[in-house]
């Protein structure tokens, strides 16, 4: 069986030591007093960087809506329905975060793949990275794997099946740490397209949104263009 996969990597968004501009004014509060959540593990890791010291829960889409209704302070999500709902509520601010996740097709071959942005349910754009492609046609992969808890990877894998790049898509609970040990640096670029004996075809880049209750906590921009929640350690 030919091993291929759709793999995502999150870019670390490290809060700057000295914020330089206010995006949303709010009180400085104790980090551990905040009610912070995310709708997937990537979002949870990002939320933890945005609010060091806060406890971050992973919630379902329904849970995200409940958090908004029940007085949650901050939520990181890429689900359009949740973002639209929060944007309709005057007491919430919705802030687009930097592009922080890149999805790539990892295989023994590097086939040309058509634009697949419309397969993604969230805020996405074509990958800005480029890698060399196969110059001769290759047979479709038997299976394309994707992480079971990553809905964007699932959508992309299913689209690759529809495009004839693979015969079927299968959810797999890989050890993420072991899989990402193949990757020396992200995002993938033209100088890092080979991953051991495998090759990468960058597909899309995505970004989540930060939903914040106005008056609950402040949001500041850092010198690198990222954001953080204004909290007291």
Contact 89, 115 (CB under 8 A): no
Q: pTM, whole model, 2 decimals?
A: 0.80
Highest mean pLDDT out of 27-31, 53-57, 144-148, 189-193: 53-57
Quickly state the pLDDT bin for 174 (edges 50, 70, 90). Answer: low
CA 69, CA 208: separation in Å to the nearest integer?
20
Specify the range with the lowest mean pLDDT, choosing from 82-96, 180-194, 216-230: 180-194
pLDDT at residue 99 above 90?
A: no
Residue closest to 145 by CA, chosen among 5, 7, 2, 3: 5
pLDDT digits (tens, 9 = 90+) for 102-151: 888 988 889 999 889 999 988 999 998 889 999 888 888 888 888 877 88
The runs of H, that is alpha helices, within the chain are 41-50, 61-69, 80-87, 151-162, 176-180
CATH architecture for segment(s) 1-11+31-217: 3-Layer(aba) Sandwich (3.40)
Tens-place pLDDT, residues 56-85: 999 998 999 999 999 899 999 999 999 999
The pLDDT confidence band at residue 193, using thresholds 50, 70 and 90, is confident
More confident residue, 25 or 120: 120
pLDDT at residue 126, rounded to an integer: 94
Of 209, 211, 210, 228, nearest to 68 by C-alpha is 211
Q: What is the pLDDT of residue 164?
A: 93
Domain ranges of the chain: 1-11+31-217
């Amino acid at each position: 069986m030919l091993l291929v996969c759709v793999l995502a990597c999150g870019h670390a968004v490290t809060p700057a030591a000295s914020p330089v501009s206010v995006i949303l004014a709010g009180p400085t509060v104790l980090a551990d007093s905040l009610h912070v959540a995310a709708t997937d593990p990537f979002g949870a890791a990002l939320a933890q960087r945005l609010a060091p010291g806060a406890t971050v829960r992973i919630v379902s889409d329904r849970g995200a809506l409940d958090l908004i209704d029940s007085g949650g302070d901050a939520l990181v999500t890429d689900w359009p329905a949740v973002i639209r709902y929060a944007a309709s509520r005057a007491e919430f601010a919705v802030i687009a975060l930097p592009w922080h996740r890149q999805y790539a097709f990892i295989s023994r071959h590097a086939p040309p793949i058509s634009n697949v942005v419309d397969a993604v349910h969230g805020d996405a754009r074509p990958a800005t990275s480029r890698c060399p492609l196969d110059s001769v046609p290759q047979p479709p992969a038997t299976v394309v794997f994707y992480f079971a808890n990553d809905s964007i990877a699932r959508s992309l894998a299913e689209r690759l099946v529809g495009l004839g790049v693979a015969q079927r898509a299968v959810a797999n609970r890989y050890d993420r740490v072991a899989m990402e040990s193949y990757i020396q640096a992200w995002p993938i670029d033209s100088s890092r397209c080979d991953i051991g004996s495998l090759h990468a075809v960058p597909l899309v880049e995505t970004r989540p949104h930060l939903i914040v209750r106005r008056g609950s906590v402040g949001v500041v921009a850092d010198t690198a263009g990222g954001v953080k929640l204004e909290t007291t350690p």
